Structure 1
Amino acid sequence: MGVEDKYLNQFKAGKKEQYAARCAFFLAGFTVTTWAPMIPVIKERLQIGDDVLGLLLLCIGISAFVFMPLAGILNQKLGCKKMLQINIVLFALILIIISSLDNVWSFVVFLLLFGAVMGTIDVTMNMNSVIVEKLSKKRIMSSMHAFWSVGCFCSAGLFSVLAKQGLNITTVAIIHGIIIFVLCLISSPYFLAYKGASNEKPIAIPHGIVVLFGILACISFLAEGAIMDWSGIFLTEAKGLELSLAGIGYAIFSVAMLVIRFIGDRAVQYIGEERICVFGALVAGFGFLLVVLIDNFYLMPIGFICIGLGAANIVPVLYSLLKNQNDMPINAAVTAITCMGYTGVILGPALLGFIAHGIGIKFVFYLLCMLFIIEALLSKYIFKRLS
């Protein structure tokens, strides 16, 4: 038995720990989506253009990316339990403060803090979930990631209802903050106090098979970012849809991904991890191809459904596989693939924008199709190595 396995024997993960791990994902999605509807109001309040707004939003991404590796150090010092308790509360408090600011430079400061907390939570909740799944000896990773989407849907729906009642964004943020505090208070006793074995390096350069995991995560996150940021532009410019229908692609993709993640754990159990990754990547790639080739409005959603269904469980399976590799300790491995995956979210959409500007928006979707074919081949190679 290795040092890490001996250390893990100190912990247990029953139903309460599993529900708490899912709640961490729910709260992260709930908080992030509370911020998104505030953006138009804040833009109008500050009287800024798209260029300044873009730089403000970039603060979140850059800060999250910088703090993800540092989360490994903090987790080893404090443990997942304290890290999640502290950062979830900070997440809600910063959100409330942001909703009331009226100065650009104060926004820079608090958006940097917002990104730092978001990146830290992302690493910590995934680390907590990997350990909970390993101790539970049952597949639960897909359902955990599904609860992130549930948090997003609940937050967006509640925000819309409260806004229609005439409440300002600060009042809405306070109500959302209270919900976050209460759910954190209920679930936090059951977060694991996992710190990693004493001989682990909390930060390590990705190496071995973990690098390949990171590449797969990067492609999957890139696709999600592309659908979120570019599908509306693609549908209005390349397909000629009305502006009111610009968000339909992302909505269909999100629902498909949510549904398949809820049944994903059982699907992986019956179909197998390798088929989920290999065939999932091929289905997602086929979906991007359909989106480009189909012009019929009523058939076009099939492409977005395929992308959501195919890509939904790849990342959860990757996190689950980390417990089967020996190249890096779990703490460092989770940090590594989260950072590499997040590169796809932060830098990917911007890079795709340059490609769209130079070659055309359709080529972006052809490129994503090819990337998922590469992901299928790479997945096949990874499972061959693991076996």
Structure 2
Amino acid sequence: MTLDDPTRRRAHRAVVVAFLAHGVVSGSWFVRIPDLRDLAGLSDGGLGLVLAALGIGAVVSMPLAGALATRHGSAPAMRWLLPPLLAVLALAAQASAPLTLALGSLAFGAALGAHDIAINAHGVAVEHERGRPVLSGMHAAFSIGTLLGAGVGALAMAADVAPRVHLLAIAAVTALALLAYRHLLPAAVDRHRTAVRAVPPTLGERLAPLRRRWLLACAIAAMASFIAENAVGEWSGVLLRDHRDASPALAAIGFLAFSLAMTVGRLTGDRMVAALGDRRTLLLGGALAGTAWALVALVDDAGVAIAAWVVAGLALANAVPIVFRAAGARRPVGPDGRPAPVPAQALAAVSGLGYAGGLLGPSLIGAVAELLDLPTAMLIPALLAASIALLARSATGGERLPSTAARSRPAANASPTPTA
């Protein structure tokens, strides 16, 4: 299918709005986690279990969202999945007991993970159509949305606005993003009906792309990055408030500073990747992020922790866009010389494992915090962030991906070769 430039540009703007909305929802939820914990009367270990429920929901929904995007196209999937996400955000905020909060987190994780798969699949499709790196810019919109969500949340906390009122208002306002969804790419651009069977695939078949070494490396790198990112969103406020003697207002600054740094890193990320290449960007980012997280764990000072999260945000900003681009790139042959999987299926497998670890990781941090203490548990994201540097070559195949290289327009419009 050949599309004109105005259609590509409108779709690009629309998917940027989608990433922005996704970030607003995520940031709004994360910044209210300490309050939701207190309302439910949970310890750090109990909060870890609730966060595990969020991860389980995402693990279950992501392969289903990948199949939905493959069969019907990522644009229809986005339109179908945003309303349930906003409804669950508003309903989960009503929880005031451990069980209801766990169930709300389970549903929220499922809705968040499914919508995430759809917008990333469409982002990869738009990048392919544009013929140049734009995925980091889309993830920058997510970071801006996260920053906006966290900022509004901090103001709501300062004004003593209850989480249920705050998150209901966020859901209502974010629903306006559906207006932009009218301008997404046509469904036929990344729809592969022949690649989807009438009988739903088993879990093993859904994860089959991960038997490929380069896709497994992408998944592990994504998992490490998500754990490090989510640890800031879900534990920074608790760490600063309970272990670094920070006020509630200062405790909210940690996540805000990290989100701002990620925004800056992603706004400049496409140019950085074009200059350094995917592998060097991952290598340097992983090394810097691991060092920063080690400072968070080992230095008993709120200012040092916030500054370290700024460094970590800049360093990790482009890790996920790079590995998602690697997984979802349209090409007939992968770096290992074998036929590449259908992009949406490969992306669903990689992001599914990545998000599974990323969303379950904070619960592991909670368990370690219960056994030892939370500062010691912060060494987990430090080690995982550093591992991204070790995975850089395998994840990118040791070379810049086709989507980041200069390409002619005919190549950008070439159709992928589906695999069964």
**Coarse TM-score class (shorter-chain normalised):** 0.7 to 0.9
Which residue number in structure 2 is paired with residue 136 of structure 1?
130
For residues 134-183 of structure 1, give each alpha carbon's deviation from its aligned partner in whole angstroms, at most 9, with x where no partner exists. 11111111111111122222234445556777876665455433422322
Change beyond 3 A, Cα 1:66–1:34: same
CA distance, structure 2, for counterparts of residue 363 and residue 111 of structure 1 = 26
Residue 347 (str. 1) matches residue 367 (str. 2) = no
Gaps of 5+ in 1: 1-7
CA distance, structure 1, for counterparts of residue 41 and residue 309 of structure 2 = 33
CA distance, structure 1, for counterparts of residue 149 and residue 137 of structure 2 = 18
TM-aligned CA deviation for residue 269 of structure 1: 1.4
For residues 340-371 of structure 1, give each alpha carbon's deviation from its aligned partner in whole angstroms, at most 9, with x where no partner exists. 11122222122234444556555544454443
Please, which moves more after superposition, 274-283 or 164-173? 164-173
CA distance, structure 1, for counterparts of residue 310 and residue 174 of structure 2 = 31
**Any conservation in 2 of the 1:252–1:304 contact (CA below 8 Å)?**
yes
Letter in 1 for 2:58: A
| Aligned pair partner of 1:15 in 9, 15, 37 | 9
Which residue number in structure 1 is paired with residue 257 of structure 2?
252
TM-aligned CA deviation for residue 32 of structure 1: 3.0
Which residue number in structure 1 is paired with residue 221 of structure 2?
216
**Any conservation in 2 of the 1:17–1:192 contact (CA below 8 Å)?**
no
Gaps of 5+ in 2: 401-420
* Partner SS state of residue 319, structure 1: helix
Change beyond 3 A, Cα 1:9–1:96: same
Which residue number in structure 1 is paired with residue 57 of structure 2?
63
Question: Which runs of structure 2 are paired with 1:40-51 in the superposition (5 Å)?
Answer: 49-50=42-43
| Aligned pair partner of 1:332 in 345, 363, 367 | 345
Residue 226 (str. 1) matches residue 231 (str. 2) = yes
Which residue number in structure 1 is paired with residue 266 of structure 2?
261
Computed over aligned residues only, the root mean square deviation of the Cα atoms, in angstroms, reads 3.5
| Aligned pair partner of 2:79 in 67, 85, 91 | 85
Residue 313 (str. 1) matches residue 318 (str. 2) = yes
Q: TM-score, normalised by structure 2?
A: 0.76
Change beyond 3 A, Cα 1:11–1:359: farther
| Aligned pair partner of 2:294 in 275, 289, 295 | 289
For residues 265-286 of structure 1, give each alpha carbon's deviation from its aligned partner in whole angstroms, at most 9, with x where no partner exists. 1111122222111111111122
TM-aligned CA deviation for residue 65 of structure 1: 1.4
Change beyond 3 A, Cα 1:38–1:129: same
Change beyond 3 A, Cα 1:174–1:307: closer
Residue 276 (str. 1) matches residue 281 (str. 2) = yes
| Aligned pair partner of 1:183 in 152, 156, 177 | 177
**Any conservation in 2 of the 1:89–1:180 contact (CA below 8 Å)?**
no
Which residue number in structure 1 is paired with residue 389 of structure 2?
376
For residues 49-71 of structure 1, give each alpha carbon's deviation from its aligned partner in whole angstroms, at most 9, with x where no partner exists. 45776655543321121111111
Which residue number in structure 2 is paired with residue 207 of structure 1?
211
For residues 198-221 of structure 1, give each alpha carbon's deviation from its aligned partner in whole angstroms, at most 9, with x where no partner exists. 443583422211111001111111
Change beyond 3 A, Cα 1:224–1:297: closer
Q: TM-score, normalised by structure 1?
A: 0.82
Letter in 2 for 1:65: V
Letter in 2 for 1:207: R
Which residue number in structure 1 is paired with residue 142 of structure 2?
148
Change beyond 3 A, Cα 1:11–1:222: farther
Letter in 1 for 2:229: E
Which residue number in structure 1 is paired with residue 116 of structure 2?
122
* Partner SS state of residue 211, structure 2: coil
Residue 30 (str. 1) matches residue 24 (str. 2) = yes
Change beyond 3 A, Cα 1:89–1:357: closer
Question: Relative CO higher for 1 or 2, CA cutoff 8 Å, sep ≥ 6?
Answer: 2
Alignment: residue pair count? 378
**Any conservation in 2 of the 1:211–1:337 contact (CA below 8 Å)?**
yes
CA distance, structure 1, for counterparts of residue 157 and residue 351 of structure 2 = 34
**Any conservation in 2 of the 1:279–1:310 contact (CA below 8 Å)?**
yes
Identity of aligned residues (%): 26
For residues 108-138 of structure 1, give each alpha carbon's deviation from its aligned partner in whole angstroms, at most 9, with x where no partner exists. 6655433322111011111010111011111
Change beyond 3 A, Cα 1:309–1:368: same
CA distance, structure 1, for counterparts of residue 28 and residue 237 of structure 2 = 21
CA distance, structure 2, for counterparts of residue 136 and residue 212 of structure 1 = 27
Letter in 1 for 2:211: H
Please, which moves more after superposition, 265-274 or 209-218? 265-274
